[in-house]
Homo-oligomer: A and B are copies of this chain.
């Protein structure tokens, strides 16, 4: 009788164990899924923040290149030489590139260096970010578009270092526009989802 008794005892000892194990496992799983949801949200927000910083950093670089190339675009002597200052389209491009450089520089500086208390409300900051990015993107595409026809016309006649520099500056402004358009999308997303955080 010891043989049938032992398996029964064993069964009795083993059978309560699985429910206990699942009972312990289930809450852990619930907590884990909750934690993973929160961490995935944090990761997404962190990714957005980093993406926005990278986009603005690229816009800073490209607008710096654009304005230095255009500002140094003077060749030959004063009379015969070609000077960007003679063309209002190039002056417009230069002005917008400088504005974009200052704006993106300020934004990158604010996000990298400034870690203290926020002076303004968070919602106001998000709105300023979005509007700033969007308006700068519109200005950059506008200045690049305005400068393209005159450069194109000049290059039909002759192709020298002046027209090449102009084309390079225009390309840099266009790349800065692409970066800021991306950044504007990210800050628009931040602005819209912000009240739910």
A134-169 CB mask vs B (1 if < 8 Å, else 0) is: 100110011111101110100000000000000000
Which chain B positions have C-beta within 8 A of A132?
none
The count of identical subunits is 2
Give complex CA distance A145, B152 in Å: 15
**Docked CA distance A193–B189 (Å):** 9
Q: Which residues of B contact A88 (CB under 8 A)?
A: 149, 152
Q: State whether the Cβ of A105 lies closer than 8 Å to any Cβ in chain B.
A: no
Q: Secondary structure at chain A's binding surface: helix, strand, loop or mixed?
A: helix
Q: Are A181 and B145 in contact (CB under 8 A)?
A: no
User: Judging by beta carbons under 8 Å apart, are B188 and A149 in contact?
Assistant: no
Residue from B138, B148, B192, B193 within 8 A of A146 (CB atoms): B148
Neighbouring B residues of A148 by C-beta, 8 Å: 146
Residues of A within 8 A of B (CB): 88-89, 134, 137-138, 141-146, 148-150, 152, 181, 185, 188-189, 191-193, 196
Q: Give the top 4 A-B pairs by smallest Cβ distance, nearest first.
A: A192-B192, A142-B145, A145-B145, A145-B146
A188-B192, A196-B196 given; name 4 further pairs at CB < 8 Å.
A142-B142, A146-B146, A189-B192, A193-B193
